[in-house]
A and B are shown apart, each in its own frame.
Chain A
Amino acid sequence: MAVLIVPASLLVLGLLVAPMLLMLRISLNQFSPTQMMIEAMSADNYIRAVTDPYYQQVLGTTLGIALLCTLLTLILGFPAAYWLARIESRWKSLITILTLFPLLVGNVVRSAGWMALLGNDGLINATLLWLGIISAPLKLMYTPQAVVIGIIAVVLPYMILTLASVIESIPRSVEEAAANLGARPGTVFRRVVLPLALPGVAAGSILVFVLCMNTYATAILLGGPQFKMMAPAVYDQFIRANNWPFGATLAFILLAITMIFTIVGSIGIARRYKR
């Protein structure tokens, strides 16, 4: 039976692990404007990335946006997931598919649509101006808020579906038992539903956090040129500056930070759950 995992393992080894190892090697090289890359074994790139205030700020923005989006997605997604898990309707499977519907539209196309909606000449500003509610266009585009909203719109379905499948496995009768013993709906949620849904909260949050940390198109299109997150910064180094060693370094820092937060978060939740 072990042979069944061979094709998938080979694919992962060849297309994920091998390029990553190459990248790791590249990140230790040195950049030269004339030769592009000089073979070396130095941590200079890493030292520069963590000491340069600019990249500290890019990393801080990325982490802040990702954590905020994960939290907001969790808060927005939980009620919807609960509703989806508990409805007894013949439309349930259709609603589940509708939840996935936003994912059918690619990130770039969706963000372009948001630009048409939020831009200075966009639908919202045009309408407000026409109604006379405002006299000058509001700055909706190219703000961190626009990026946060844009990211949440993409990652919300992942959160809802992950949570719903876990909430579905919590028997209704357990909630009824709590109510029967005198717990009001808020208490039933806090003492019974939420603790039992923690594995789903963990899985959904990790999934969403990883997606947020690696946001690219949404950050560029809705954040504008002044707004920098890590994934676009990696792109800039590789393509615009042709500085592969430093681009690889930024990519590894992004990977490391994402992994640290994911691991610490899941250990924290697992501890609470075991209690």
Chain B
Amino acid sequence: MAQLKLSNLAKHFGAAVAVEHVDLEVRDGELVALLGPSGCGKTTTLRMVAGFVEPTAGQILIGGKDVTHAPPYARDTGMVFQSYALFPHMSVAQNVAFGLEMRRMGRAEREQGVLEALKLVKLDHLAERLPRELSGGQQQRVALARALAVNPSVFLLDEPLSNLDAKLRSEVRLQIRSLQQRLGLTTLIVTHDQEEALTMADRLVVMDRGKVLQVGTAEELYERPANAFVAGFVGRCNLISGFVDPGGVFRTDWGGEFAVPQESAPGKAIFALRPERVALRPGTGHGIPGRISAITYLGSLSEYHVDVSGNSFLVSMPPPPNDSPLRCLKIGDQVSLTWDVAAVRLLPFEPSSNQGEEP
């Protein structure tokens, strides 16, 4: 394993900019997730690392070696494709052995390597099957084994879970993570699923429109998002545009007035507040007044959509106990919203940005 370093990496397709100024370091044994909506450049970035896309500018270093213009076969990366890309005419064992053959490994050593890789994903009993005789989840594990068998310097995963059903996905997520940690694999994973990124990655890279918006741990991104896009993409967030007046009050575009932390600089800003940090009480007079427009019961959580002067506010909390007055709230009821001012974050105002309220 080795570290992976991208510096000032860019890819233009004609006049279209797919990726711009990407600087990133994946440390030895670290799992970093590229997270963003489709078309944000995350897959192009991964494909540049694998060597399938020629960068327009910048540099890619694997273990300190410049591979920016090296062909894919000379890069020593192990990639798991979204479609798995198994060789349909080869058995499971032949698929896994392919990379070892390319490394001119002897037969005995190769068979040993195949067996070890298949044991890693608990598929050694299916070695003689053809890919089409396996379930989707098993095919995915063959793809993992095939990439791991060559003991690559960098492990690349392109949306590896998107073709699995929801239940299997959370299981495989944990399996990949524990394998990655056990083997100390330097890993770059591409995903559009924030939950996947949050549960698997040591650090996350949030991308949008070809640019890296923020790099950090899950907690850093959630608690201290750099901008409204990150706040909206990592977890859910109430995002309200307006400005901070010199008196230290946030005035929304629709005339609302909210208290903000003391040190807030005056000027245009976006007010960000996580739904679980808002408290809700029946009746008026205790805070910001609103009216319930929808209630969603999610088992461990209940979500209340509250209409405040024509703007929707999301409040989430564990379902209230049976004797709570909140229990009888229904659509159309008057409520008031309160929050600790310390939970409020003011984010830079971006007129053109998509605020990504509901990813």
Residue positions of A touching B, CB distance < 8 A: 171, 173-174, 176-184, 187, 191-192, 195-196, 273, 275
Contacts and interface: CB of A to CB of B under 8 A. Distances in A.
A176 B73 contact: no
Interface of B: 50-52, 71-73, 75-79, 81-83, 85-89, 98-99, 102-103, 146-147, 150
Dominant secondary structure at the A interface: helix
A50 to B, nearest CB: 41
A181 B110 CA distance: 14
B102 A176 contact: no
A177 B99 CA distance: 10
Contacts of A180: 50-51, 72-73, 75, 77-79, 147
A195 B88 CA distance: 10
Contact of A173 (B77, B81, B103, B146): B81
Contact of B87 (A174, A179, A184): A174
A192 B87 CA distance: 7
A181 B81 contact: no
Given A176-B52, A176-B72, A181 B83 contact: no
B103 A176 contact: no
Contacts of B150: 181-182
Nearest to B156: A180
A182 B99 contact: yes
Contacts, number: 66
18 contacts: A171-B83, A173-B83, A174-B88, A176-B50, A176-B52, A177-B79, A177-B81, A179-B51, A179-B52, A179-B72, A180-B50, A180-B73, A180-B77, A181-B98, A181-B102, A184-B73, A191-B98, A192-B87
Contacts of B99: 181-182
A195 B146 CA distance: 20
B333 to A, nearest CB: 53
A176 B146 CA distance: 13
Given A182-B150, A196-B89, A176 B98 contact: no
Given A174-B87, A179-B72, A180-B50, A187 B102 contact: yes
Contact of B102 (A173, A182, A196): A182
A179 to B, nearest CB: 4
A181 B51 CA distance: 12
A171 B146 CA distance: 18
Contact of B73 (A183, A195, A196, A273): A183
A184 B103 CA distance: 11
Given A178-B98, A180-B79, A171 B85 contact: yes
Contacts of B85: 171, 173-174, 176-177
A31 to B, nearest CB: 53
